[in-house]
Chains A and B, each alone.
Chain A
Amino acid sequence: MPTLTTAPGLRSEIFVPITPAPVWTPITKPLSECTVAFITSGGIHKKTQTPFNTAGDYTFREIPSDTPSDELMVTHGGFDNSDINKDVNAMLPIDRLRELRDEGVIGGLVDTFFGFMGGGGNVDKFRNETGPEIAKRLKAEGADIVLATGGCGTCHRSATIVLRACEAQGMSTCLIAALPPIARQQGAPRITAPHVPIGSNAGEPNNKEMQTGILRDTLDAVESFDHFGQLKMLPYEYRHNV
């Protein structure tokens, strides 16, 4: 009967971030020729649409990319909503994206953006249904680039799952993360991270300069990053003490 010398109480000596397998679609044309999509797991939808179930919801809402920003609202129980209530561009920078399109920085926008409520998201549903479905629709609309914001912690995970589905279907994606450790650990293909609180992930409300800067720097990152999992901290800082 062979015995082994053992020692209860041993502890592993190296922290290991558990990252899923890389998924990567390189960008193949200049930004000015790219069609851009935006999705958010921060609970944004049209005021006329059914609100999300804040107890957990893996459904999504179609948001036409020409929707006036004052027709959008947030339903999300995972963070302070006051910044989005002031300016929805703090989570879904729809006005800034249209400006960038009009200036010719990007080639165009898809017809449909997507909002979902990623808080406490059902991982399997997002991985097997919601993510692939959103990716399929964005691909059909000709998206080359998909940008995203996540709201809360688990929203970052849900957004990352959907972005990975998009990347797998041939689109180049980047998550604008307020919580970059989660984005990285969950396997976001590209990550930019302004110094902002959750609830205003895309920049301070009504601060057009900051919101535009975050978007432009993120588009630059999509163009310059050359491998999976890269992260760039962005030089924008906004604090909101709730």
Chain B
Amino acid sequence: MSLSLNELEVHMADPAVLCCRRPAGTVLSAQDFEDPTIFDDMVESNLMTLNDDGLTIGQALGGTLKSDGEALTQLTADLVEGGAVESASEPGTAESLAEASAAAPVVSAAPAASADASTDAPNGYIHLHLDKAEGLDLVFPAGPAGSGIPANFAPAAAAGPDTEPEPAPEERVMRTLVKKDYPVSSVVIGQTTSYADGVLSIDGALIEAAEQADPLVKKVTMDVIAPEDRHVYSNTIMDVIPIAAKAEGSLGEGITNVLSGAVFVLTGMDEAGVQIHEFGSCEGFLDEKIRYGRPGCPDESDIMIRVDVQIEQGTGMERRGPFAAHSACDAIVHAIREQIKDLSAQTPVAQETFKDVRRKDRPRVVLVKEIMGQGAMHDNLLVPTEPCGVQGGEKNVDMGNVPVVLSPNEVLDGGIHALACIGPATKEITRHFFREPLVEALQADEEVDLTGVVFIGSPQVNDEKSFVSGRLGSLIEAMEVDGAIITTEGFGNNHIDFSENIAAIGSRGVPVVGVTFAAYQGQLVVGNQYMDAMIELNKDPDGFENEILADNTLTEDDAERAILMLKTKMAGIPIAAPERKWDESVIEANQALV
């Protein structure tokens, strides 16, 4: 008596197993079947074995047991007569199973029911009502083998001729951002701060200014590390910060000047020599501890300007300590920003244009990015005045970690200054947001209408986690989106937020795809039924948080899989259930479908 009628309909294709002892002559109904969701655990624990020649619940339903059956007996054709299975002469082969299905009342009733069903497909599902199965209601996706277009996104299908070309989406450009790239071929620490002809000069006196930025800052050093000279020991890497300044407009619109070819790398420890890190740290040789080329990292050819900050002893795990280090570094970066605001006399080597576009008639999609919000290094500055800056930014911890919407352009214009110092391999640092692959891909995708990017913190207290997840749910409801992708950095307790946030979206009927590092070390400890379309960010061969900066963070490939999975789910095409354990071949197979 383990399946309710509601549960039955989603398990029609699962193996039919008796939940309890049943005598011969029992006419099989929902209450006789064991709940298939526990089979994997039962098999794993050697409590039962499942053979390939068994009947599905759909086949066994309505049949009669020929002999007494014990609990957890898998039903096969020789144990059951009548019902859907009657005409299945050779159970066990794909062909005969197909025959059995074809002979089932479930399917044979479909044509008769289709007249009723055609007017009752509100969400891309066909709804069948079968009198013969004693009032069983069966709901299944309408078009997995068809066009892949969900009914609700294809309202014109019946009205228009097939040959009519698809009209271009009605686009409304909300704002435009142009990033102009100016090359840096060498960096010198000298007497003045200036940029000209590819040479970035940084006034050495800025180091002293950096030391004055916050009373907790005790010592600042700065050096320049050329790409060919990276075998240099370093304290743990707290952040990678692009050098960018607004030339026109405010964050997210107008023109941003970017110095390409050089980035700031913030490292630090406290006076006692304790690395400023939390879960895992990546001090070591810079050629070994950075996954060059990740969105958050320096690229292979980048010059690194390393700013190492020593803060007051014992403040590394308080909010004020890491913030002081970031403030010190920003004092130097900001002085450079002042010098590159007006580069009208020089020619950029490249420029990229980003448009916040609303596409009417396209499915509305939201990207939710979960960020750390538990104090210490688990904090982020939202929407600073200058790209990737510190000043003007609001800390998500101070805002109670509630969801805050940024436009895609605001994100890509350095709208997040990340103070995060969770596991180095999974943290999303400032440069990551400056070129976030999912934001860039969704923004440019003409098949969807990207409504915005929601940032939601992961609070420390469980009640607060529920509070912010609840607010996210209400926000999503108000946005009336058709689909959502939610990402998280890190792993562990933030997966509680992650699962609650996914439930907050999924429970409102919105298809949602979850993106996180889990693999071996970060495998999920909590979950819910809405987490059925998940993207794995792991890149480590053994599935570990490996302390290589940004190794297990989101890349372009991951973004492509996530978007494809969301579109597929929105179209009502089933996403197959995951393997029971992390399996790299699943990821590779999905990538091959992109």
Contacts and interface: CB of A to CB of B under 8 A. Distances in A.
B523 to A, nearest CB: 7
Contacts of A131: none
Main secondary structure of the interface of A (DSSP, over half): loop
A78 B2 CA distance: 15
A6 B571 contact: yes
A78 B71 contact: yes
Contacts of A179: 41, 45, 47
Interface residues of A, number: 43
Contacts of A125: 1
B229 interface: no
B564 A7 contact: yes
Nearest to B47: A153
A14 B1 contact: no
Given A1-B157, A7-B568, A56-B19, A14 B578 contact: yes
Contacts, number: 197
A119 interface: yes
B514 interface: yes
Given A13-B587, A17-B524, A198-B47, A5 B578 contact: no
Contact of A185 (B34, B41, B156, B447): B41
A117 B102 CA distance: 39
A125 B593 CA distance: 45
Given A16-B534, A122-B2, A54 B45 contact: no
Interface in B31-59: 31, 34-35, 37-38, 41-42, 44-45, 47-48
B516 interface: yes
Contact of A2 (B38, B361, B576): B361
A16 B527 contact: yes
Contacts of A7: 564, 568, 573, 593-594
A124 interface: yes
Given A11-B586, A123-B2, A18 B45 contact: no
B45 A124 contact: no
A107 interface: no
B578 A8 contact: no
A8 B568 contact: yes
Contacts of B536: 13-14
B565 interface: yes
A68 interface: no
A154 B586 contact: no
B581 interface: yes
A157 B594 CA distance: 40
A34 B153 CA distance: 60
A6 B568 contact: yes
Contacts of B571: 4, 6
Nearest to B579: A15
With most chain A CB atoms within 10 A of its CB, the pick from B1, B72, B532 is: B1
B447 A2 contact: yes
B21 A14 contact: no
Nearest to A119: B71
Given A78-B71, A121-B2, A4 B570 contact: yes
Contacts of B42: 153, 182
Given A1-B156, A10-B568, A17-B524, A182 B20 contact: no
B188 to A, nearest CB: 46
B352 interface: no
A18 B37 contact: yes
A78 B38 CA distance: 15
A11 B578 contact: yes
Interface string A175-199: 0000101100100000000000010
Interface in B152-183: 153-157, 160, 166, 169
B478 interface: no
Interface of B: 1-2, 4, 18-23, 31, 34-35, 37-38, 41-42, 44-45, 47-48, 70-72, 144-145, 147-149, 153-157, 160, 166, 169, 361-363, 447-448, 462, 499, 514, 516, 518, 523-529, 531-536, 561, 564-565, 567-568, 570-571, 573, 575-582, 586-587, 589-590, 593-594
Given A3-B447, A9-B593, 14 more contacts: A1-B157, A4-B567, A6-B148, A10-B576, A12-B565, A14-B514, A15-B523, A17-B526, A55-B71, A56-B20, A153-B72, A154-B71, A179-B41, A182-B38
Interface of A: 1-19, 22, 54-56, 58, 77-78, 119-125, 152-154, 157, 179, 181-182, 185, 198, 229
15 contacts: A2-B153, A4-B363, A6-B564, A10-B573, A10-B576, A11-B577, A11-B589, A13-B586, A122-B31, A153-B38, A153-B42, A153-B72, A154-B38, A181-B41, A181-B44
